[in-house]
Amino acid sequence: MTQTSNESTVCCSDIENLFPTGFFKALGDPNRIALMARLAICCDSKTVSELSDCCPTDLSVVSRHLGTLREAGIVESEKRGREVFYRLRYDQLAKSLRQMADAIEECCAGPGQWRSAAETIGGSE
C-alpha cells in the first residue's frame, strides 16, 4: 500500500492551471519544435509550403503540426486567398513560459530550499 501526502496538493494546488497539456503536447514533437524555431528565426508569417523544408515530412503532416501549434496557442494563422499564413505568437508564448517559470520558482523553490551550483561550488551557505 502506498501512502500519499496532501501537502503537495495544498501547497500549490492552482499551479496545474498554468501547465496546459495541449501546450506541452505541441512542444513534444521535434518537427513542431523545428517549425516553431523556423517561425522565430523568420520573424514573419510563412505558408505551409515555405515552412515545409524544415521538416522531413509530407506537406499534409506539416499542416497538421501547424494545426497542433495553433490549437495550443503557440502560432496563429491567417487565410489570404487560397493560402494560410502562420506566425509565432511571441507575446503569448513568452507570457505562458514566464508564468510557468514564476509559478515553479514561487511554489517549488522557496527561499532557503535550494542553493545554486555557484553557491555549492563556492562553499557559500
- What's the pTM value of the predicted model, to 2 decimals? 0.70
Which residues neighbour 25 within 8 Å (Cβ) at sequence distance 6 or greater? 68, 72
Residue-wise pLDDT tens digits, 51-71: 988 778 888 999 999 999 999
* pLDDT value of residue 16: 73
In terms of Cα–Cα distance, which of 101, 65, 104 is closest to 86?
65
What is residue 72's DSSP assignment? Answer: T
Measure CA 116 to chain center: 24
CATH number of this structure's domain 19-104: 1.10.10.10
Kindly list the domain boundaries of the chain, sorted by start residue: 19-104
Q: Write down the pLDDT at residue 3.
A: 44
